[in-house]
Every structure is written in structure tokens, then in C-alpha cells.
Amino acid sequence: MDLKFGVHVHNEGSVQKAIEQVQLAEELGYDSAWVGDSQLIMPEPYALLGACALKTKRITLGMGVSNVGTRHPTVVASGLAALSDLAPGRVTAVMGVGGSSHGSVGMRQDRLADFRVKFEVVARLLQGDGVSHNGRDMKLVWSDPEHTRQIRLYVHAAGPKGQFQAGEMGFPVELPLDAPELPFALERVKAGAVKAGRTDGKFEVCWWRSVSTSADSRAIKEHMAASVSMGIASRYRCFCKGAIREEELGVEMELARRVAEAYDPVEHATSNSRAARIVLEQPDEVWNELIKSSLIGTPEEVAKRIRDALATTAIGEIVISPRLSTKHMPVEAIIETFATKVRPLVLSGQNQKP
């Protein structure tokens, strides 16, 4: 299977700009373009992707990471069906338990068991099946099953328990992890599959990572501080729940605690957030340790890290997330640099495999 590449478009304060970035991705040959789903931070994804469907011809249009908690599962299914009517065969979505979409409005994320039930309601409705949910028999009667059955749904599998459940569920998996974590995550996915009676060991994996690539290291640090801080905060929360060990934090405990306590869902991914500012204060030796496994650096460095990941994990698609533009690092430059410099280096390495 040929390796695919996608790009995740973040909110830049303009729906029109987001549409233009999706069009740029299509022009540069990306296979997919994705938009986020966090109602106070990003534009409404169904409206945005509907506009993108009418402004593009080839590229797959994805929503992620979305959820089935802030909207009823039937609303999610109907929204995806509407998109598939506009762009048959070009719609996909990653679903998870929720994050900033919930936290920014004071809602709790779905429990994994509840997420699974709701996700599977969406999946069955898109297959054209009837489903019983909340004591009611339901069916998506307005849409064309020939279109909705082509919608590809991914399970967002960020934490160990979510990875195991993703394997049980049997859907394609999206892994938002640094390269060294991928083999361990996939082992958990496979363990979940074995428990569910699937033993072929085959999974469709979409690898989703923040990316910043340039020869200007200062511009990269400014651009990626928010993303790095989000990763630290997430790992610290996992540590507090007993899901990972202290050595897996990647930073000193005190720094992890400070970043996690400063993280605010409303400031999600913004370069001037309090959590990002803490990261920016760190000396270069700490920063270099933080990004040693990330897709951050020169095109050659980023390509090498991707090739190293491909050597240990079967990945079907790589989705890059350039985050938000900063003063010295416009998102469009990252999208273009990755397409014209990183991607060829990755593919040339693939072609050289025995």
C-alpha cells in the first residue's frame, strides 16, 4: 500500500484562510486535508468542510479529532452523511473521547465505554443499518448508503487504555504519538484485537504529529512551544492516573507539573499560552531533549525521523499538523516545505527498501 500524506489545518481566525490552506494542500499533492473540532477555538467543521468540498476536486476531507459527546451520535452521522453527499468517497473522520471541545465549556470527556457505544452508533448508521440507542430504534433515512459506506472512521487512540479498546473495536486507528511510542501503542492495539478474537495482526494506522520544519531553529521554537507544552501536560495527566511511569514524562517532574497546571483548553495550541511560555523559558539543552523524537527541525531531520518510524511501524498515512502561524513561521510555508522537501526524502527512503 502506498504511503499517504495529509495535513491538518488549524483555525487562523478566518474560515476563508482555512479553505485556502486546504486548496493549497490539494495543489501540493497531499492525499487528505483535516480540520479540527473545538467549538470555541475553531470554526464549525461541518460548515467548513462543506465549503471545502465545493472548492476542491480530489483531496480527501477529514474531521478530527472530533467527538461524539458535544453532539448526539445521530447528529454526527447526519453531518458526515451530508458531507459525503457533497464529496462522495472523499470524507473521513477521527473520533475520540473529547478534549478542548469539552474542557472549554466545562464538560467532562466521555468515558471510554460510553465513547465506544456512541462511536459504533455512528458507524452503523453510516452503513445504512438500523440501530437501537437510548431505548429507540433509529435509522438514517435521508442519505445514500452508497456514499455513507465510503466514509472512513478512525478511532483516536492517545492513551494506553484507549489503544487497547481501539484494538477491540476493530476500526482504523489514529495514533498521535512520538515515533518511539508507536511500537508500544500498536502492541496494545493488537492485544485488544486478540481479546476480541481478531488475530491477523493487521491494522490501518494513521500517524498524526505536529510538524515544524525550517532551517531557522528560533522560529521553530517559537512556533512549536504550544504543541510541546500540550504533549507535556497530556503525559503528566496520564502519569497522575497511573497510566505511564515517571521516566516516560520526558521532562523533570516539576516542569511537567508546572506546564500541566498552566494548560488551559481555551488557549489550546496558541503560541502565547501560559503553558507555551513556560516551555519557551527553558534553555536550549532542555528544549533539544524535548524535541529529540518529534517531527521538528530541518527537512532532513524531519524526514529521517519519519523514516525511522516507518522502519518499526506499518503506517498507512502520515498527517502533519503545522499548528498556528507565528510571526516568523507561517503555516503555508510549513505545508509547502514538507510537500516539496520532506516528502520526497521520505519516499526516496521507502523506494530504497529491499
pLDDT in tens, 19-52: 999 999 999 999 999 999 998 888 999 999 999 9
DSSP 8-state symbol, 247: G
**Which domains, ranges and CATH numbers included, belong to the chain?**
4-218+293-351 (3.20.20.30), 219-292 (no CATH)
pLDDT in tens, 233-247: 988 998 998 888 888
Q: Which residues are 211's β-sheet partners?
A: 295
Give yes or no for a cis peptide into 68 (omega within 30° of 0): no
- Cα(324)–Cα(278) distance, rounded to whole angstroms? 18
At 72 the three-state DSSP class reads coil
- Cα(295)–Cα(83) distance, rounded to whole angstroms? 31
In this prediction, residue 354 has a pLDDT band, given cuts at 50, 70 and 90, of very low
pLDDT in tens, 83-134: 999 999 999 999 999 988 888 888 899 999 999 999 999 999 999 999 999 9
Q: Which residues are 62's β-sheet partners?
A: 34, 92
